[in-house]
Amino acid sequence: MSEQDLFEAFVNDLQFDVSEYLDSELSDYQKKLIEDAIFILKDNIVGDITKLGGNLQKNKEKFENFLKKAEANIEKEKFKDSEKDLKQFLKDYAKKLQELIAKTCVAVIPVKELPWVDVLFRSVPRIELDNKKVELLDNAISYYGEIKCVISRTTIYGKIKNEKPLFAPFMGELDLKGYKLDESQQGKPKSLVYPYVSTIIESLESSSTRSQLAKYHEGYQRHGEPICDFLMSKTDLLEPMEKIRTGLYTGRIKSDISVCGIAIPIPSNNTSLILLLEESKDSKKYGNCFEGLLRFSAACCEAPSTGKGAGLEQTGQVSQQQPGALRTPGGQELKVWSVEELAEEASKRGGGVPPDMDVWSSEDLQKLSEERGSGIPEGMDVWTEEELMKLAKKRKGGLDIPEWKPDDDMTECVKCGYSLRKGWTECPICETPVGSQGSPESAPTSEAEPDEPDSKDQISEENTENE
């Protein structure tokens, strides 16, 4: 195992959870970040915004215990050979963890006239390991929320180097590193469970997720899944999504593939979680990321769905609408006609048959059928059997080849049926004796099968001698 892999394994064993340090008391840095994030939403905000930021002082004792546990972890057998390097690495890693806590913040924003009840914003600082160096990257942000319908399949959005971005189906289960919701989190919307969303963001970085994008691009030629085909047909969705900057753009990701968006159906809540990441350092990243999420969420509300929860959700919405109107989860109003209105529209159209169109009665159709007789089109040549025989002889080149007939002078062996020439005393195949006229004189009394000759050459030689 290389030192790089060793450090990554060490970090994974630590299982640090930044949500344990979130507090309502914000630093100036966190306040500025949230203000920039909610500015674009100011006309659609209803109610109070829940704002949380990382604060080491809230749980300082827990952090100290975490470091002690990490130091004890170094003494494990698998890290024993690199104990000295790991101790120095832990010091650097602890400093970056404190910075990560300080640069973490989240806002729960109640909104109106949008696909979600709440839209959430969070900063996504990351600790990167490279050649024994520990680096903190703090430019990434994320918007996410739950729409009120269940999409047909988990869908990811990503970019491949030198290729157009695409939506692709995710087959199987997300790699959540064994994360499970505890009992206290079961009833909550999953978008409000900070560690759960953190695990989803981490899963977008995994090689298994990137391979799903590559497989759909190469193996399926970017086509075949209904919801993905629908999303790829939406020009008003693709244009803002192409503005999203991923780790490929910033150079953070060494691979040629990055995944920055995901839509996950949650049938238990009759919702779907939509999440989008943006990693640019430009101040426009807030607008780009939110617009992408808004278009992505609205398109998922309109997408064809076979989800069981989608039907339940839509049924509930119909019952809440006024008669004659239906509103989609995205807010679009659709016209609804009653049975009486449809019947009235049909009567206005005069039966639905244009006046200049030919119409046949059953008698007309029967007469046409009788005129066609045998079903052979008029003018088609018809041959008799004798004519076909003559044509067959002509195609043989005019040769009159007689049929093969058996030789009347030859008889058959009574045992094996082999043809016997006149004068042979025994069958060359089964050695059964024959009379001068080819009639059998005796036959073996044994029921065992006679031995077969060793080869075709031996048979040929026996025939020559007898002749």
DSSP 115-150: SEEEEEEEE--EEEEETTEEEEE---EEEEEEESS-
Measured over the CA atoms of residue 400, residue 405, residue 407 and residue 413, the dihedral's sign is positive
Q: Which tokens hold the place of 152?
A: 């047909």
Name which of 260, 239, 267, 236 is nearest 330 in CA terms: 236
Alpha carbons 328 and 335: distance in angstroms, whole number = 11
| Amino acid letter for position 342 | L
8 A C-beta contact, residue 33 and residue 285: no
Q: How many CA atoms lie within 13 A of 290 on its CB side?
A: 20
First to last CA, the chain: 85
Provide the Cα torsion 231, 232, 234, 240; round to 10°: 100
| CA 144-11-56 angle, 5° bins | 65
The neighbour count for residue 454, using CB atoms within 10 Å, is 8
In this structure, which long-range contacts are made by residues 130-137, counting pairs with CB atoms below 8 Å and at least 24 apart in sequence? 130/4, 131/4, 132/3, 132/4, 132/7, 132/85, 132/89, 133/92, 134/89, 134/92, 134/93, 134/95, 134/96, 135/96, 136/96, 136/99, 136/100, 136/103, 137/252
DSSP 275-303: EEEE---STTHHHHHHHHHHHHHHHHHHS
Alpha carbons 314 and 405: distance in angstroms, whole number = 83
Element (H, E) at 167: strand 166-169
| Per-residue model confidence as pLDDT tens for the chain (467 residues) | 677 777 777 887 788 899 999 999 999 999 999 999 999 998 899 989 999 999 999 989 999 999 998 888 888 777 777 888 888 888 999 999 999 999 999 999 999 888 998 999 999 999 988 777 889 999 999 999 999 999 999 999 999 999 999 999 998 888 888 888 777 777 789 999 999 999 999 999 999 999 999 999 998 899 999 999 999 999 999 999 999 999 888 788 888 999 999 999 999 889 999 999 999 988 899 999 999 999 999 999 999 864 433 333 333 333 333 444 555 544 445 566 777 777 777 666 655 555 566 777 778 877 777 766 556 666 667 778 888 888 877 776 655 556 666 666 778 888 888 888 777 888 888 888 876 444 444 444 444 444 444 544 554 455 444 44
Evaluate if pTM is beyond 0.85: no
Q: What is the separation of C-alpha 450 from the centre of its chain, rounded to a whole number of angstroms?
A: 66
- pLDDT tens, position by position, 186-207: 778 999 999 999 999 999 999 9
Give residue 314's pLDDT: 36
| CA 296-299-301 angle, 5° bins | 110
Measured over the CA atoms of residue 23, residue 24, residue 28 and residue 34, the dihedral's sign is positive
Segments making up each domain of the chain, as ranges: 1-138, 149-317, 406-467
Give residue 319's pLDDT: 34
DSSP letter assigned to residue 97:
H
